[in-house]
Amino acid sequence: MPSTATTAPTPGLTITDRRLGTYDRGIAGPTIVVVAALHGNEPSGVVAFRRVIERLQERDTPFRGRLVGLAGNLPAIARGERFIDEDLNRIWQPRRIERYADTPRDKRSVEATQQAELLDQLDSELERADGLVHFLDLHTSSAEGKPFVCIGDTLRNRDFATRFPVPVILGLEEQVDGALLEYINNQGHVTVGVEAGQHDDPSSIDFHEAFLSLALVSAGCVETAELPRYEEMRARLRAAGAALPRVLEVRYRHPVAAADRFRMRPGYENFHRIRAGEALADDERGDVHAPETGRILLPLYQGLGDDGYFLVREFARSWLAVSALLRHLRFGRLAPWLPGVHVHEDDANTLVVDRRVARWFAVQVFHLLGYRKKRDGGDHLLFSRRVEPA
Ligand SMILES: [Zn+2]
């Protein structure tokens, strides 16, 4: 396939080598690690990465640092399905990874084997990196809609993510457990999740290509002048994000199980405005209503997946500035002195917050201070400090 052709991603793409390509001219600099198609029905990122690296190679583009692309779920990609046994983007809990290290291959799920192989390659890249590592996880969605990025809310992630002229979503990682992005983020790297549009829409490949090109420039690997059509790609993203808020936070996730027979009603796309009480979907119990007013994100229009939809709301940029200031001042260190708050006895980076007290200074205060909600522990909420890259 010619590297610039705009063709729909083919379900059933065969990938024989997980390593999609490496570009390294031996000049010190940042490392960019890209994972594509962690979900097998999202091959757009694979096609886009190949386009980008082929162009770098053809033009022998000057480059600082190293670019590496890895494919995610190979058996699921071959079948054009989200996953085979379990979701490869929900199994990156460190305890589970440790436990599986000793499990024989024939006792593992398809995805546990994929994870082990991917982890080998990720570990070797992260270990050899001497500059800052930027990690990009490329996805598409079952619904139509504008592209966006999502991050765990560290200052370094914000700085990198806000250079893409599209909406930045905060707090998605609090809602889903075991995502690869969060696993890499917690090792202190800069991480951005990229959603490029609908799975089979050819423009999703163009958007992924644009994200990768902008990432190479903003990480400091390539000069804009060295990338053909750079301004065009930037304009493509800017146009897509033009009418949307710049930063939004996740307010709600609607979890679904297969037994729910969840069916999203037609016509919703990412960022579509919804009103409190609006009937968005149907399931075994009847109408599924929006719990509050906001915008919808990632409504589920495919069989596999356990997130029905997310509800997001604009996050005022002034609050971003306030929270950056509080974090620079290391205000979070005062959090354990708040009433009803103490440090977890086994983990200095985790706060235990009395739920009766927490309602007075809501979850948002801990977000501002750089903590993420980890777990609901009955009377208590657990918050962990986000690891800022060094
Ligand atoms: Zn995905």
Q: What is the CATH number of the domain that holds 281?
A: 2.40.50
For residue 320, tell me if it sits in a domain.
Answer: no
Q: Looking at the structure, tell me whether residues 210 and 307 fall in a common domain.
A: no
The domain that holds 136 is classified in CATH as 3.40.630.10
For residue 120, tell me if it sits in a domain.
Answer: yes
Rg (CA), the chain: 21
- Given a contact cutoff of 8 angstroms between Cβ atoms, the answer to whether 76 and 40 are in contact is yes
Spatial CA neighbour of 145 closest among 287, 296, 328, 319: 296
Q: How far is the CA of 149 from the centre of ligand 1 (A)?
A: 12
Predicted confidence at residue 180, as pLDDT, reads 97
Q: Looking at the structure, tell me whether residues 180 and 310 fall in a common domain.
A: no
For residue 268, tell me if it sits in a domain.
Answer: yes
For residue 14, tell me if it sits in a domain.
Answer: no
Domain-ending residue, one of 219, 241, 263? 241
For residue 366, tell me if it sits in a domain.
Answer: yes
Q: How far is the CA of 43 from the centre of ligand 1 (A)?
A: 10
Q: How far is the CA of 329 from the centre of ligand 1 (A)?
A: 36
Q: Looking at the structure, tell me whether residues 336 and 310 fall in a common domain.
A: no
Q: How far is the CA of 370 from the centre of ligand 1 (A)?
A: 26
Q: How far is the CA of 10 from the centre of ligand 1 (A)?
A: 16
Predicted confidence at residue 64, as pLDDT, reads 97
Predicted confidence at residue 352, as pLDDT, reads 81
Q: Looking at the structure, tell me whether residues 170 and 224 fall in a common domain.
A: yes
Rounded to two decimals, what is the model's pTM?
0.86
Q: Looking at the structure, tell me whether residues 265 and 293 fall in a common domain.
A: yes
Q: How far is the CA of 141 from the centre of ligand 1 (A)?
A: 6
The CA-atom distances, in angstroms, between 206 and each of 138, 232, 248, 294, 299 are 12, 11, 24, 28, 22
The distance in angstroms from the start CA to the end CA of the chain is 41
For residue 219, tell me if it sits in a domain.
Answer: yes
Q: How far is the CA of 8 from the centre of ligand 1 (A)?
A: 17
For residue 327, tell me if it sits in a domain.
Answer: no
Q: Looking at the structure, tell me whether residues 89 and 212 fall in a common domain.
A: yes
Q: How far is the CA of 7 from the centre of ligand 1 (A)?
A: 20
378: containing domain: 332-385
Predicted confidence at residue 137, as pLDDT, reads 98
The dihedral through the CA atoms of 107, 111, 112, 116 has a sign that is positive
Q: How far is the CA of 255 from the centre of ligand 1 (A)?
A: 16
Q: Looking at the structure, tell me whether residues 23 and 89 fall in a common domain.
A: yes
H-helix or E-strand spanning residue 366 = helix 363-368
Please give the tally of structural domains in the chain. Answer: 3
Q: Looking at the structure, tell me whether residues 126 and 206 fall in a common domain.
A: yes
Domain-ending residue, one of 241, 265, 298? 241
Q: How far is the CA of 343 from the centre of ligand 1 (A)?
A: 35
Q: How far is the CA of 139 from the centre of ligand 1 (A)?
A: 4
Spatial CA neighbour of 122 closest among 187, 78, 168, 57: 187
Q: How far is the CA of 233 from the centre of ligand 1 (A)?
A: 22
Q: How far is the CA of 147 from the centre of ligand 1 (A)?
A: 13
Q: Looking at the structure, tell me whether residues 305 and 339 fall in a common domain.
A: no
Q: Looking at the structure, tell me whether residues 75 and 177 fall in a common domain.
A: yes
Q: Looking at the structure, tell me whether residues 122 and 69 fall in a common domain.
A: yes
Domain-ending residue, one of 218, 241, 264? 241
- Given a contact cutoff of 8 angstroms between Cβ atoms, the answer to whether 68 and 33 are in contact is yes
Q: Looking at the structure, tell me whether residues 280 and 153 fall in a common domain.
A: no
pLDDT < 50: residue spans in the chain: 1-9
- Given a contact cutoff of 8 angstroms between Cβ atoms, the answer to whether 329 and 359 are in contact is no
Predicted confidence at residue 12, as pLDDT, reads 61
For residue 13, tell me if it sits in a domain.
Answer: no
Q: How far is the CA of 235 from the centre of ligand 1 (A)?
A: 25
